[in-house]
Amino acid sequence: MAEKLRLMAVHAHPDDESSKGAATMARYIAEGHDVMVVTCTDGGAGSVLNPAMDRPDVLENIIEIRREEMARAAKILGIQHRWLGFKDSGLPEGDPKPPLPEGCFALVPLEESVPSLVEAIRDFRPHVVVTYDENGGYPHPDHIRTHEISMAALDAAADPAFDPSLGSAWEVQKVYYGHGFSRAKLQAFHEAMEARGLESPYTEWLANWDANRPDVMDRVTTQVECAEYFEIRDEALKAHATQIDPTSRWFAIPQDLQREVWPTEEYELVRSAVDSTLPENDLFAGVKV
């Protein structure tokens, strides 16, 4: 593809961009396109998930540290990056669950949060936007809110009557939901590991999988070949050192096995103003410059 195209990915927290669709973004950067990640929250409520980083000084400066991690990941991926800067809502746990903290992203009214994303869309003018589905990919309040703000902002950004001070109206040609944890994908890796005589990190996860839970692969319309960029994806993940333990199951599947068994990342086309034949293998399929 000779034309330079623009892709925007809207994510809830710093590190989400590296665990969801990072190899796709790295591929498009390598092909000469522009990619911007918009991060909705500051990541300040995230737990330290890497034992090596679980120190008092890290917890005291978690927002600043996560900003630095995001900057490193963006550099590794080659992407542009923009913060919306909302307060991380955290993931409420317990029964009953505690209330969300006052002023957090999930509680900010859409009429207050949407304009910031509209401005980002109108500034960058993406041809394609990737965001989360109606369940947020998983039911974290910030992920669900990211879906809501994304869909509202896409409509508002295309409306010339919506706050012209935020820039000229811009209609995105294609909108996708990114999809990650597929049972079919985990099963394929599990079987390939066992066939090699290796211990699968997914044995317990698969055994406890709800048989009534639909597989996201039933919704996937688009699989982007990006195996060549799995190493970049993993380096970007490791840049988020507070969130990613380099000894965790994120990295338990050898890369050569990943490239052989499942060399793609998955998406669901949910809006399109252009013609594109499904299934697709390219987020930019049918896009017009």
* Binding residue numbers for Zn(2+): 13, 16, 143
Which residues are part of a known binding site? Answer: 13, 16, 143
How many other C-beta atoms lie within 10 A of the C-beta of residue 162? 16
How far is Cα 221 from Cα 109, in angstroms, rounded to an integer? 32
How far is Cα 278 from Cα 287, in angstroms, rounded to an integer? 14
Location of structure tokens 């900003």: 67
Alpha helices in the chain (DSSP H): 16-19, 22-30, 56-60, 62-77, 110-124, 141-157, 183-195, 203-207, 230-239, 255-261
Contact 123, 168 (CB under 8 A): no
Which residue(s) pair with 224 in the sheet?
A: 265
Helix, coil or strand: residue 131: strand
Contact 117, 1 (CB under 8 A): no
